[in-house]
Amino acid sequence: MKQTKYSLLLASAAAALLASSIVSADTLPSIVPAPADNPTTPEKVELGKQLFFDPRLSVDGTVSCNSCHNIMSSGTDNRPTSVGIDGQRGGRSAPTVWNAAFLSAQFWDGRAATLEEQAKGPPLNPIEMGMPSEAAVVERLNSIPGYVEQFKLAFGGKDAVSYDNMAKAIASFERTLITANSNYDRFLAGEKTAMSEQAQRGKKVFEQSGCNACHSGGNFAGPELPIGEGFYQKFPAIASDYDHKYKLSEDKGRFEVTKDRADMNKWRVPSLRNIALTAPYFHNGSVETLDEAVRVMAKTQLGLDINDQDVDDVVAFLQSLNGEFPDISMPRLPDTINSSQVGGMK
């Protein structure tokens, strides 16, 4: 039953992509890329889904991947900064996990090249999930018999439970989190009533103002690049009162990863798909509304004081990028059998 269920899930994701009709470079690719050493299978997707929802990957059993990247909704937690173990606050807003499979670098600063590499970060982050080591994560997974069996089914071998395989399973599940067939996609495919006249005006403002110089491509996150290369832009690029108001320059962005001054305040360009659902905005979650985010971007990136009508039109266009979300049910997690190994939790 499980294999059939997730075969259908993968098939429906692929069908949704194909339904968007690849008539333009501004639609999502028809194929979700996966690395050669981690081909997507129904068994990995099932396991990855359970791991994504399981708070036992955190040291005290309170935080899961879904806590910050809620796929029952926007793929974010809609907070300025996320809450980790012991109520600790992270320093950046959680980016959406929807369509992250199409990004060539992960995290705001691009410090992870792949979804697999990204999935390894939060469990060991002392603010997010707080596990002390990879070995501690593997020990906990090995103490849950249901997971041991599923890792064997997904990866084979007697040592199937590993930190690398945990990340591979989560990444495989995340590659099914695609939202194609937005009003915009249907409009490009020839359904001319799919976008309102206001949204069409907003598309023209978006393009004529130069917003698509950065937010290009099918994911509206820049050009397709080799995995790990990433597409970065300085933000803010132009000095304005918004910098002080929203503290836009306090976090040095990619510079914190590379220590190269050329990367000061540079960020991976985020996708605009489903952007209307992912407030608050920017790396620090400092801007509460989409219309204000449009004004900030126009000023700080393009030097434009955009009028209210154009703002409203661009917002209507951005709303047309909300895609169709696949139906995802909450998983039944494998039971804890030995509470002394998993329970004390801290």
Contacts of 232 (CB under 8 A, 6+ apart): 110, 254, 263, 266, 267, 268, 269
Q: In terms of C-beta density within 10 A (0-12 exposed, 13-18 middle, 19 or more buried), how is residue 157 classed?
A: exposed
Contacts of 100 (CB under 8 A, 6+ apart): 75, 106, 115, 118, 174, 177, 271
Q: How far apart are CA 239 and CA 303, in angstroms?
A: 9
Domains of the chain by range and CATH? 2-178+325-342 (1.10.760.10), 183-319 (1.10.760.10)
Least Cα distance to 47 among 177, 178, 179, 171 occurs for 171
Q: Provide φ and ψ at 210, rounded to 5°.
A: 100, 10
Least Cα distance to 278 among 329, 232, 249, 318 occurs for 318
pLDDT at position 342 is 57
Q: Which residues are catalytic?
A: 128
One-letter amino acid at 93 equals S
Please write the tens of the pLDDT for every residue from 317-340. Answer: 999 999 999 999 999 999 998 766
pLDDT tens-digit profile, the chain (346 residues):
344 344 444 434 433 443 333 335 678 988 898 999 999 999 999 999 999 999 999 999 999 999 999 999 999 999 999 999 999 999 999 999 999 999 999 999 999 999 999 999 999 999 999 999 999 999 999 999 999 999 999 999 889 999 999 999 999 999 999 999 999 999 999 999 999 999 999 999 999 999 999 999 999 999 989 988 999 999 999 999 999 999 999 999 999 999 999 999 999 999 999 999 999 999 999 999 999 999 999 999 999 999 999 999 999 999 999 999 999 999 999 999 876 655 556 5
User: pTM for the whole thing?
Assistant: 0.91
Q: How far apart are CA 129 and CA 285, in angstroms?
A: 20
pLDDT at position 67 is 98
Contacts of 18 (CB under 8 A, 6+ apart): 30
